[in-house]
Every structure is written in structure tokens, then in C-alpha cells.
Structure 1
Amino acid sequence: MVLWVFGYGSLLWKAGFDYDERLVGYIKGYRRVFYQANTDHRGTAAYPGRVVTLEAIEGAITWGAAYRVSGDDKEALVLSYLDLREQEYDQKEHVNFYTADCLETPTVCNVLVYIGSSDKFKNRFWAGPAPLDEMAKQIARAVGPSGPNYEYLFRLEECLHELDCVDADICELAEAVRKQMNSSKGVNVTSERPEINLTTEVYSCLENNHMIPATEHR
């Protein structure tokens, strides 16, 4: 048996499992959005962060990476790991995956992807859309056990850039977050190569919630 998993968020820089092959490509009919609240890694129940999910839109594409896992035992282990890691997502979908050298015919079919839906009855972590400045302020301030929410966003932006898969919406949001952080005391963030420092608000949040930044698990 062979399992393929599509990563479009933190799986891009930290898969967290052994895989046999990694392909850069995209899926059709979805766009990447910061509409999923996060309380277990990049935020808390008192002050949730925002992470990416997928929104179904006709004609849209989302770039990312597909990971191949071979072997029944290995597949079961990876699925068990991902079900725990992605527990705040309520949907599992199977999609076609395309690469740059094969735009019309799927390179891989039946690729697993985790999605947080907009159905609030099934997905209690749905944060939904908000004005850009409002989302930027939330991401600039939220902190969880895996670290600051803005670090997640900046890592995603950098990773997509390294894959030559620049996402204009992600870049716009990252720039808005930098502006929020630049307005806070003790933070020096540039649009080219940000030096990520914890703000006074971040340290306060860590102290109040008895948390320290930990390894990314999402």
C-alpha cells in the first residue's frame, strides 16, 4: 500500500514522519487561507492563533508538497501521527495532485489532505475571514506551546519562497504582521529578512499562560 499526503502549512517545513518521496506541486479547487483558529500550538484557548486551512474556490490552486509513504505498517503509523497532529481539523479529503511538468494530468491521484471546514457545528476551531489588519494583530500577539503565531506565518512565507511557490495572499498578510510588530516596542522586523524577536506582549503571554516556545508539531 502507498499513502500520499499533501502539505500546505507546517508540513512543508516539518513533516514529522518518515517518507519515501517528496514532490512539489499543487492541488486544484482550493486556496490557502488563515481561517483556522489554533489553541494547541500557536495560540491558547484564551487567545487563539490563526493557522492555514483550505477554502474551496473554483479555479483556485494551492501549491505545496506531497509526501509518499510506503508499507502498511508505516502508513498506519503516519496516519495515527497525523490524526493527532491535525486533530483541530474536521475533514479528510482525497484530491488530485499536479506538478509543474504535468499541468493537465494528475501526477498523483487520491492524495490525503486535512482541512478545517467552515461548518461551525463540526469545526469548533473555525475562525473565518476578518479584515487584514485584524488578522495581522491577532497573529502578531498570539503565542502557544510551539511558539509565536507570527513565526508560523513567516516560516510558511519563507518556505513557499524557497519552493518558488510564492503566495500573494500569504505575503500580504506577512507584511501586515510585520507592520504590527514594528509598531511594538523592542521589535525590529524588515520585509526582506525578518529578525524575529519576542515582543513584550509575547513574553507577558508566555508568563501568564506558563508556556515556553516548543518544537513545531503542526
Structure 2
Amino acid sequence: MVLWIFGYGSLIWKAGFNYDERVVGFIKGYRRVFHQGSTDHRGTPENPGRTATLEAHDGGICWGAAYRVSGHDNEQLVLSYLDLREKQYDRKVFVDLYTESSSEPAITDVLVYIASPDKKKNPNYLGPADMKDMALQIATCVGPSGPNYEYIFRLEEALLEIGALDDELAKLSCEVRKTLQSEDTTYPL
């Protein structure tokens, strides 16, 4: 049995587990949004950071990386690790992964973790916000894994490295940089 896992956030640059193969590609019907609150990695319960989740979107695509994990014991180890790492993401779905080389899925039944907007199941869901408000929140939040802005910048860099563009992320990154450079904003270094 073989398990494939799709990463669209920090998993792109830091899988954190052993895998047999990495395939860059995209999934259809979703877009990356920064509506998930992070109280355990890039923020705190008092000051949640913002991290990526997926939102269903007709015609949407989301670039990332899929990882192949084989062997029952290794699969169980990886799933246990991801269930802890992604504990604030309340949904697991299976999707098809596409690459630029084909209109047919390159890999089917790829597992992806999603943070839903259901506040009963996902109390850390923050929802959409004005770009400037999101940028201020991202610029000022820090958690055990580091500053929230580092997450945004590392994601932008990781996507550029795989040749993927995300217009919303680019706009958000630009706004976060402006916020960090403004004189009236204090933020942790």
C-alpha cells in the first residue's frame, strides 16, 4: 500500500517526515486562503497567527507538493506525525494531483488536510478579513514555530522555487512587508 500526501503550506518546504518521492503539482477545485488561525505554531491562543487552508472554488487550482510514503509502519508513523502537526485542521479529503505535463491526474487519492469554516469542529477558524488587517495580524503574531510573517515569506519562496504563482499570496506578502516597514508598527524580530 502507498500513501500520498499533498502539502500546500509549510509542508512544501518542511515535510518533517521521511518520504520516498516528491512530486510538484496542483489540485483542482480549491484555492489557498489564509483563514485558519494558528495558536500552536505561528501564534498563540491570545494572538493567533494566520496560516493557509483550502477553500472550495470553481475553477480554482492550488499548487504544492505531494509526498509518497510507503510501507505500513512508515505510513502509520507519518499519519500520526501529521495528525499532531495538523491537529487544528479538522478535515481530511482525498484529491487528484495534476502536473503540467498532462490533463489527466498524475496521482489519484492524495490525502490533504483542510481547516474547515465550521466553528464547532474548528474553533481556530478566523475567516476572511481585509488585506491590511490580515497583514497587521501576520506581521505581529509569533508562536512556538516562529513569527507568522516568516511562514508567509517561506511559503511565497517555496512556491516560487517550484515555479508556481499565487496572486493572493503575493498581494498578502507585499502588504505584510509594507506593514513591517511602517514606522508605527512594532513587531518581534
TM-score above 0.5:
yes
Aligned equivalent of 2:174: 175
1:1-34 per-residue CA deviation (whole Å, 9 max, x = no partner) reads: 1000000000001000000000000000000000
TM-score by length of 1: 0.85
Identity %: 61
Residues 134 and 200 (structure 1), Cα distance of their counterparts in 2 relative to 1, 3 Å cut? closer
Please give the residue correspondences for 1:10-89 in structure 2 after superposition, counting only pairs within 5 Å. Answer: 10-89=10-89
Q: Give the AA of the match of 1:94.
A: F
What is the CA-CA distance between 1:184 and the residue it aligns to? 3.6
Distance across 2 between alignment mates of 1:200 and 1:176:
15
- After superposition, the C-alpha distances for 1:67-119 in whole angstroms (9 at most, x for unaligned) are 000111110100000000000000000001101101x2111100000000011
Matched residues, number: 189
Look up the equivalent residue of 1:157 and give its one-letter code.
Answer: E
C-alpha displacement of 1:41: 0.9
Gaps of 5+ in 2: none
Q: Distance in 2 between matches of 1:83 and 1:31?
A: 22
Helix, strand or coil at the partner of 1:16: coil
Aligned AA for 2:188? V
User: Which position in structure 2 is the counterpart of 1:202?
Assistant: 188
Aligned to 2:6: 6
Distance across 1 between alignment mates of 2:12 and 2:80 = 19
| CA deviation vs aligned residue, 1:171-206 (integer Å, no higher than 9, x gap) | 000000000000047xxxxxxxxxxxxx85326xxx
Partner of 1:141: 140
Q: Secondary structure at the match of 1:5?
A: strand
Give the unaligned 5+ runs of structure 1: 186-198, 204-218
Give CA-to-partner distance per residue, 1:146-167, whole Å, 9 cap, x none. Answer: 1100000000001101110011
Q: Measure, in 2, the Cα distance between the counterparts of 1:96 and 1:41.
A: 28
CA contact (8 A) 2:139 2:187 kept: no
Cα distance in 2, alignment partners of residues 6 and 59 from structure 1: 19
2:125 aligned with 1:126:
yes
Report matched runs for 1:205-216 at 5 Å: none
| In structure 2, C-alpha distance between the alignment counterparts of 1:45 and 1:76, rounded to whole Å | 29
Q: Structure 1 or 2: larger strand share?
A: 2
- Corresponding residue SS for 1:201: coil
**Which whole-Å CA distance do the structure 2 matches of 1:161 and 1:2 have between them?**
28
Task: State how far apart, in whole Å, the 1-side matches of 2:187 and 2:160 are.
Answer: 29
**RMSD of aligned Cα (Å):** 1.1
Report the Cα offset of residue 52 of structure 1.
0.2
Please report how far the alpha carbon of residue 121 of structure 1 lies from its aligned counterpart in structure 2 after TM superposition.
1.2
What is the DSSP-based 3-state SS (H/G/I as helix, E as strand, rest coil) of the residue aligned with 2:138?
Answer: helix
